[in-house]
Amino acid sequence: SAVISQKPSRDICQRGTSLTIQCQVDSQVTMMFWYRQQPGQSLTLIATANQGSEATYESGFVIDKFPISRPNLTFSTLTVSNMSPEDSSIYLCSEGGINTEAFFGQGTRLTVV
Amino acid sequence: KQEVTQIPAALSVPEGENLVLNCSFTDSAIYNLQWFRQDPGKGLTSLLLIQSSQREQTSGRLNASLDKSSGRSTLYIAASQPGDSATYLCAVSPPSLTFGQGTILTVHP
């Protein structure tokens, strides 16, 4: 089973600023996934990150707002840009899940004030 | 578009009870179904993965079944404990994981 280290675990940010979330996997993986979980809601996929290519974004999510990096097969970052209170959510990274078991990071609890 | 529904939305039981959580999905063309546990404000912990060719999986006090043709899965928790209190999520793939809304379980002493 993969172990994913995600940081920060939580943050309180001012509106208009940006936050970068990091995920480190203990093994090489082809795809990593970024999810958002709004208060009281289930998980929604933001984008799929492949090493060496641009991330693929789901409907309703755009690169300018959620730029993603995937510099190698064990690491990815998600930036939440120009934040507003509506961006307050838990953000999670994962690997696997299409036809294998999925594993998740510990989540980043973001509050925008 | 795949849709996943979990019933009940919340469940409160006394310690020691056996309980069943339900998950249904609209498109039976799945690769696998996975059950997760989420503690408040935290990430997801994988509990059980059932591949489409399988009927059930067991891990300790947990047993998950899958009826792919009818689009249903159940998670059975035996002899529940206060430490089982959490939100339980089911998810199916492909193309990526589609999650249900979860069942909030409270087990009181």
> Mean pLDDT of residues grouped by 10 in chain A (113 residues)?
93 98 95 94 93 91 96 96 97 87 94 97
C-alpha distances (whole Å) from A27 to each of A3, A23, A48, B29, B37 are 8, 12, 17, 30, 23
Q: Is A109 on the interface with B (CB under 8 A)?
A: yes
pLDDT at B8: 95
Place of tokens 């990815």: A76
Closest Cβ opposite residue B46 in set A92, A99, A102? A102
Q: Using one digit for the tens of pLDDT, what is the confidence trace for A71-95? A: 999 999 999 999 999 999 999 999 9
DSSP assigned state of B68: T
Strands B4-7 and A19-25: unpaired
Nearest to A92 by CA among A111, A78, A75: A78
pLDDT at B9: 96
Q: Using one digit for the tens of pLDDT, what is the confidence trace for B67-97? A: 999 999 999 999 999 999 999 999 999 878 9
Place of tokens 């609209």: B26
pLDDT at A52: 81
**How distant is the Cα of A37 from the closest Cα of chain B, in angstroms?**
10
Q: Is B21 within 8 Å of B75 (Cβ atoms)? A: yes
The pLDDT averaged over each successive group of 10 residues in chain B (109 residues) is 94 97 94 94 92 94 96 97 97 90 96
DSSP assigned state of B3: -
Residue to mutate among A89, A99, A109, with most B CBs inside 10 A, is A99
